[in-house]
Amino acid sequence: EVQLVESGGGLVQPGRSLKLSCAASGFTFSNYYMAWVRQAPKKGLEWVATISTSGSRTYYPDSVKGRFTISRDNAKSSLYLQMNSLKSEDTATYYCARQPGLDYWGQGVMVTVSS
C-alpha cells in the first residue's frame, strides 16, 4: 500500500525557515518524480515543487522560486522541502504527492507563518 507521511510543520515567524519531510513507503521511491502541493486555508490547490528521480532536476513556480528547495534521499525513501524567507502567504497545508498524475497524496502538514 502506498503511503506518504508528512512531518515538520508548525508555527514560524515571517522571515524564518522551516523544513518539511515526507516519508514514503509501499512503492519504489527512487523510480518516481515527487512533488509538493499546498492549500491555503479555505482556498484552492497550488503546486509548489517537483523533483526528478535522481534529484538532478527541480521545478518551482515563481511564487516560491529562490526561497524553497525540494530535495530527496532515495536511500531513505524521503522527500524534503526547505522553506526559507517565509511569508504570511505561505501559510497552508502542505502535501507531498507522487508523480505522474499526483496519484497518491499524504495527509498533509500545516504550516502557519505569523508573528
Partner 1 sequence: DIQMTQSPASLSASLGETVSIECLASEDIYNNLAWYQQKPGKSPQLLIYYASSLQDGVPSRFSGSGSGTQYSLKINSLESEDAATYFCLQDSEYPFTFGSGTKLEIK
Contact residues: partner 1, CB under 8 A: 35, 44-47, 50, 59-62, 95, 99-108
Q: How far apart are CA 82 and CA 99, in angstroms?
A: 20
Q: Are 32 and 22 in contact (CB under 8 A)?
A: no
Residue (14 or 103) nearer to partner 1, CB:
103
Rounded to the nearest whole angstrom, what is the least distance from the CB of residue 62 to partner 1 in the complex?
Answer: 8
Joined grid coordinates for residue 111: 504550516
Residue (55 or 108) nearer to partner 1, CB:
108
Joined grid coordinates for residue 1: 500500500
Q: How far apart are CA 100 and CA 83, in angstroms?
A: 24
Residue (1 or 115) nearer to partner 1, CB:
1
Rounded to the nearest whole angstrom, what is the least distance from the CB of residue 81 to partner 1 in the complex?
Answer: 16
Rounded to the nearest whole angstrom, what is the least distance from the CB of residue 75 to partner 1 in the complex?
Answer: 26
Q: How far apart are CA 97 and CA 103, in angstroms?
A: 7
